[in-house]
Structure 1
Amino acid sequence: MKYYFLLFIFINGAGLIYGQKSNDLEIETTFSKVFKDDKKFTELSFSVDDSKGGLFIGRSYKRGCYIEHYDSSLDLLSSYDFELDNKHSKILEAFVDEGKLIVVEANYNRDANQLQYLAHQTQIENFDFKASKMLGIDFNKFRKLAAVVAFVPINFGGVDGDFFGNMVISKDREHFVITQDIKDKDSELRQVHVFNKKMKKLYSHLFERNIKDKDFELQNVDIDKNGTVYMLGKVKTEKAENKDEGGKYQYELYKIHGEKREKLTFSSAEKYVGSLTTVINDGELFCIGFYSEKK
């Protein structure tokens, strides 16, 4: 039987609670009209509240992103084909601030030999994007960031192992974090960059865990209203592998702000955890997922 696994963690402390679902949740669902995709292969890059009851949806394809603006009834108001100049690019995320839609792009600029992060801004009433560079990283300093074939970066996808990195926005939309997985088989390395909503970089932090890369699996990254980053990892250690019962791993939760880093380690005890993720709500941090009694 599957259960809800709930680990309840305060910002200044920790506790453990196991819970089982008792009542069905009431969920209200609204459907849009059925539409035909103009491109064969698109994937959802972002879904953003427009602050007026509607939303923007971005669907990426090989060399661009379809951006659609819907009202509160999910009727299409407008659409835009956002073409990317660089074929080695990825749309990371988007958000709305003071009547503007900001789309964040990561790309490998071969001429500048940089991994670059760009902010494309437009008024929400009409699509007229203006680009500015938020961050440029010398590619020579980060050659371990990805596999490189003929100097073309490979996008591994997912939370763990993505050349372009992953972006997470705080719940209040005041901060966001971009994390990059640095490929090193002998240790877990990750570069963390934190920005405010005006695209000003607040700090960078090099995360390093002295463990083989294959033994550290990043589960989730989150950021709170103060720009503090939380990273949850599933880690294989010698102690965890010698457990008599439960999953042969432990979880490590890291709290990062500026140069400071704190660590909390906890075990799934005799349980087998299928998935676990972090959720920030009202100044408290939760780790929520699923577990089973048997593997």
Structure 2
Amino acid sequence: MKKIIYLFLITLLSISSFAQNIPFKIQKSEVFKDEYGESQIVLSEEDGRGGILIVRSYKSSGISPNSGYYFEHYDGNLKLLNEYDFQIKHPVSQKTPVVLGIFRIENKIRIIEMFYDLNEKSYICIANSISVSDFALEKKELFRFTRDEIKEYGGLSLSETFYQNANMKSLINGSFGAPSEESPFLFNFSLSGKSEKNSSSSGNTKMALVVNKEQNTFSIVLNFNKKDHSDILKIYLFDNQLNKKIERDFTKDTNDRKYILQNIELSKDGNSIYLLSKSYPKEMKEKENEVKYQFEITKFTQDKVESQIFDTKEHFIGSLKTIVKDEKLICIGFYSDQYDKRYKGISYFELDSLTLQVKTSKFNVFSEQFILDKYGKIKNKELKYLTFKNLFTTENNELIFNAEESYITSTAGNYSTSGGYSGGRTYYNYDDVVSIKIDEEGNLLWSRNINKRQTGDELGSFVSYTSTLINNDVYFFINASEKIKNLENNRIEFRDTRKNKYNLNLIRINPNGDFDYQEILDDEENEVPFMVSNGIKFGNSVFFLGKKGTKKQLLKVSI
């Protein structure tokens, strides 16, 4: 990667009135090859000298396939300065290793891993700490469970956790739960409820890991489901030196309720863990014309555990996301009216971080502009299958909340007269993008819909999108066909195409909610297509990895 190709592209599209001049700069590394067929950027960090450290996860093929993380240190011109290959290797006695998360705290990259050791007869969680400066490796055990202890908790399946993490866009998002048929993506706001029905089976252990924004602490929570219909949570909190600050067992009796964990979040000072859950008490089933569930927020500290229940009145909310913003504790998500299977807007709850009392609750209906964006005219029809993607905070403490219509469709297989079976196909759909801005008090400022139709694989690396906030403008990077489809009422739609024919588009939404777009890379200018859903923000730039067979290339787009 010695030769750097600089491209300065400022082009004006004439496809529609939306196309504008968006100033940007593009840098590409030279095309390179490595042995890792499956590779994607999972982390990037500033080196403090204008350069950047990029970490790629990989899986290599062959007779003895390897997996691990590849560290690459570049200067400001994308010149490779140093590299390090961290292969995940285990002796034969260590079975079903799974990575729970990768993140940076202090001057080290932490790769948290768990496996079952046959010799120790224990499930062991360790931290692999790799120095950013010299790639020195240290290992430290964080906790362990003996086989007998796991039996008391109700069982543990690392293979299921491996499947969950293989489908994560981020390994440190604090979410519980595995993808399901109708909710394939974490933080999915589908109204079907199907994933909730399947989320409490005995022996089905779920794990969540989260790092606070200040990067001074992280938490790991394991949720065990026992045969006696009780949920046991094992809760850990560690400081930036991997010292254990909290270890606590927390039991919820589920005989009289269905209990679904949503997500965890950490306080700014790194001393408190907030657990959000959703429950369906039996007594609420007997009430007519009311929502049958309630949300519960639980706060864990070294000294005590506190909980607070809050309901959503006559509205239905499939899922909420917990946010710690300065001194505020916020829960946010999409809602619908009762008995309606279509989302109507965005809900906002502000809780007191000390008492957990609800201070503010608001339900903001989607704007008329949003409905016009999506349908071209006002219609009694809104969104389903919304998947939370990004949350940004502006300079004025406003929140930008981005989501995507993500769902699975499939075709049934057929039996032939000769007795053979032709299997059906599964499609992973990545459609419209939703962007919403609310003020510091939870009031809707604007909501916009970007029309998009795409299908991809389970990870959706080349479809979907990457979003970032720069100078209070929201930017979206989307791969699409060369021809942007013109819709009625002065609207456009980004359409899918063959992977090697993708054109990279940049969409901008300004602080007032007005948006424009521009094509910034044509497929004829690229030797490889870029994995647009795995972009990593760094200052005013976003990095993408391109891949075509064994060829790879690094792309930097600066705004």
Does the pair score TM above 0.5? yes
How far the C-alpha of 1:181 sits from its partner, in A, is 1.5
Residues 212-262 of structure 1: CA deviation (Å, up to 9, x unaligned): 498111111111123211100011112333343464211011001125111
2:316 equivalent to 1:265? no
Choose from 83, 87, 91 the match for 2:87.
83
Choose from 207, 215, 219 the match for 2:258.
215
**Which one-letter code corresponds to 1:159 in the other structure?**
F
Choose from 142, 149, 163 the match for 1:134.
142
Residues 110, 65 of structure 1: CA spacing in aligned structure 2 closer, same or farther, 3 A cutoff? same
* In 1: Cα distance, 2:262 partner to 2:256 partner: 14
Hey, what does 1:49 align to over in structure 2?
Answer: 45
* In 2: Cα distance, 1:92 partner to 1:165 partner: 8
Hey, what does 2:69 align to over in structure 1?
Answer: 66
2:225 equivalent to 1:183? yes
Hey, what does 1:107 align to over in structure 2?
Answer: 115
Residues 101, 227 of structure 1: CA spacing in aligned structure 2 closer, same or farther, 3 A cutoff? same
**Which one-letter code corresponds to 2:97 in the other structure?**
S
* In 2: Cα distance, 1:80 partner to 1:213 partner: 53
2:212 equivalent to 1:204? no
* In 1: Cα distance, 2:262 partner to 2:24 partner: 28
Mapped contact 1:219–1:233 kept (Cα < 8 A): yes
Residues 188-211 of structure 1: CA deviation (Å, up to 9, x unaligned): 111001111100111211111111
* In 2: Cα distance, 1:192 partner to 1:74 partner: 43
Residues 238-290 of structure 1: CA deviation (Å, up to 9, x unaligned): 23333434642110110011251111101111111132110001121100111
* In 1: Cα distance, 2:231 partner to 2:27 partner: 43
Hey, what does 2:320 align to over in structure 1?
Answer: 276
Residues 259, 98 of structure 1: CA spacing in aligned structure 2 closer, same or farther, 3 A cutoff? closer
TM-score (norm 1): 0.75
Residues 147, 255 of structure 1: CA spacing in aligned structure 2 closer, same or farther, 3 A cutoff? closer
2:124 equivalent to 1:116? yes
Mapped contact 1:189–1:206 kept (Cα < 8 A): yes
* In 2: Cα distance, 1:74 partner to 1:260 partner: 51
* In 2: Cα distance, 1:265 partner to 1:170 partner: 24
Hey, what does 1:159 align to over in structure 2?
Answer: 176
Task: Report the aligned-residue RMSD.
Answer: 3.5
Count of paired positions: 264
2:283 equivalent to 1:287? no
* In 2: Cα distance, 1:130 partner to 1:246 partner: 54
Residues 276, 204 of structure 1: CA spacing in aligned structure 2 closer, same or farther, 3 A cutoff? same
Hey, what does 1:93 align to over in structure 2?
Answer: 101
Residues 104, 135 of structure 1: CA spacing in aligned structure 2 closer, same or farther, 3 A cutoff? same
Residue range with higher mean Cα deviation, 119-128 or 253-262: 119-128
How far the C-alpha of 1:72 sits from its partner, in A, is 8.6
Hey, what does 1:226 align to over in structure 2?
Answer: 270
Choose from 141, 150, 155 the match for 1:146.
155
**Which one-letter code corresponds to 1:192 in the other structure?**
I
* In 1: Cα distance, 2:252 partner to 2:89 partner: 37
* In 1: Cα distance, 2:206 partner to 2:159 partner: 9
Hey, what does 2:16 align to over in structure 1?
Answer: none
* In 2: Cα distance, 1:63 partner to 1:247 partner: 49
Which protein has the larger Cα radius of gyration, Structure 1 or Structure 2?
A: 2
Q: Report the 3-state secondary structure (helix = DSSP H, G, I; strand = E; otherwise coil) of the residue aligned with 1:275.
A: coil
Residue range with higher mean Cα deviation, 59-68 or 231-240: 59-68
* In 2: Cα distance, 1:122 partner to 1:263 partner: 38
How far the C-alpha of 1:80 sits from its partner, in A, is 4.1
Hey, what does 2:535 align to over in structure 1?
Answer: none
Q: Report the 3-state secondary structure (helix = DSSP H, G, I; strand = E; otherwise coil) of the residue aligned with 1:142.
A: helix
Residues 128, 154 of structure 1: CA spacing in aligned structure 2 closer, same or farther, 3 A cutoff? same
Hey, what does 1:14 align to over in structure 2?
Answer: none
Residues 31, 237 of structure 1: CA spacing in aligned structure 2 closer, same or farther, 3 A cutoff? farther
Mapped contact 1:160–1:217 kept (Cα < 8 A): no
Q: Report the 3-state secondary structure (helix = DSSP H, G, I; strand = E; otherwise coil) of the residue aligned with 2:320.
A: strand
* In 1: Cα distance, 2:129 partner to 2:140 partner: 8
How far the C-alpha of 1:183 sits from its partner, in A, is 2.4
Residue range with higher mean Cα deviation, 276-285 or 237-246: 237-246
Q: Report the 3-state secondary structure (helix = DSSP H, G, I; strand = E; otherwise coil) of the residue aligned with 1:104.
A: strand
* In 2: Cα distance, 1:60 partner to 1:50 partner: 21
Q: Report the 3-state secondary structure (helix = DSSP H, G, I; strand = E; otherwise coil) of the residue aligned with 2:89.
A: coil
- Indicate the percent of aligned positions where both proteins have the same amino acid: 22
Residue range with higher mean Cα deviation, 184-193 or 74-83: 74-83
